[in-house]
Structure 1
Amino acid sequence: MSFQITEAFVQQFADNFRHLAQQMRSRLEPCVSIEPNIVGMSKSINRLGQRTAQRRTQRHGDTPINDQPHSTRFVDLFDWEDGDMIDDQDKIRMLVDPQSDYVKAMVASLNRAKDDVIITALGGNSRSTTGNIVLPSAQKIAVGGTGLTKAKIIQARRLFRKNEADNHNGEELFITYTAAAAADILADATLTSADYMAAKFLQEGDVEGKWMGFTWIPSERTPLSSGTRMLYAFAKSGVTLGKGADITTKVGEDPGKGFNTRVYAKMSIGSVRVEEEKVVEIAVTES
Structure 2
Amino acid sequence: MSLTPSDYAGIENHQITLKFANALQLLAQQTVSKLESCVTVKSGLKGATVSPADQLGTFSTKTRENRYEETPAVNVSRTRRWYSPTMKHGAYIIDTFDSIKMDLNPQEGIVQSMLAAYHRDIDATILADFFAANKVGKDATSTANFDTTNIVAKTDASGDVLGKIALAISKLQDKDVDIEQEEIYMVVPPSVETALKDAGFYVSSDYQDSKVLTGKKLPPYGGVNFVRYNLAKTNIGSTETPNNVYRCPIFCKSGVGLGKWEDFVVSVDKRADLSNATQIYMEYALGATRLEEAKCAAIDFAA
Runs of 4+ in 1 over 4 A off after TM superposition: 145-148
What is the Cα-based RMSD across aligned positions, in Å?
2.3
**Residue 81 of structure 1: aligned partner:** 89
CA distance in 1 between partners of 2:2 and 2:247 (Å):
37
Tell me which residue corresponds to 2:223.
213
1:168-207 CA-to-partner distances (Å, cap 9, x unmatched) read: 3x21111111111111110113774214454433344x66
CA contact (8 A) 1:148 1:185 kept: no
CA displacement, residues 101-122 of structure 1 (integer Å, 9 cap, x when unaligned): 0011011111101101101122
* Structure with higher strand content: 1
What amino acid is the match of 1:228? V
Number of corresponding residues: 279
Match of 1:121 in 2: 129
Alignment check: 8 A CA contact 1:123 1:281 kept: no
CA contact under 8 A between 1:81 and 1:110: conserved in structure 2?
Answer: no
Counterpart for residue 245 of structure 2? 228
What is the percentage of aligned positions where both structures have the same residue?
A: 24
Instruction: Look up the equivalent residue of 1:220 and give its one-letter code.
Output: N
Q: TM-score, normalised by structure 1?
A: 0.89
1:95 corresponding residue in structure 2: 103
The alignment status of 1:258 with 2:265, answered yes or no, reads: no
Q: Against the structure 1 CA distance between its residues 190 and 109, is the aligned structure 2 distance closer, same or farther, given a 3 Å change threshold?
A: closer
What is the distance in 1 between the residues matched to 2:292 and 2:122?
Answer: 20
Structure-1 residue corresponding to 2:168:
156
Structure 2 distance, partners of 1:180, 1:19, is 26
Is 1:239 the equivalent of 2:256? yes
SS of match in other structure, 1:244: strand
Checking the alignment, whether the CA contact within 8 Å between 1:235 and 1:279 is kept in structure 2 is yes
2:59 aligned residue: 51
Judging changes above 3 Å, is the alpha-carbon distance between structure 1 residues 141 and 5 closer, same or farther for their aligned structure 2 residues?
farther
Query: Which residues of structure 2 form unaligned runs of 5+?
Result: 4-16, 236-241
Which of 235-244 and 189-198 deviates more? Answer: 189-198
Unpaired runs of 5+ in structure 1? none
Deviations 1:53-104 (A, max 9, x none): 1101111011111222101111111111121100111112222211110011
Larger Rg: 2
Q: How does 1:1-287 map to 2 (within 5 A)?
A: 11=18, 14-44=21-51, 45-129=53-137, 131-144=142-155, 149-168=161-180, 170-189=181-200, 192-196=203-207, 198-204=209-215, 208-222=218-232, 223-224=234-235, 225-286=242-303
**Aligned partner of 2:89: which letter?**
E
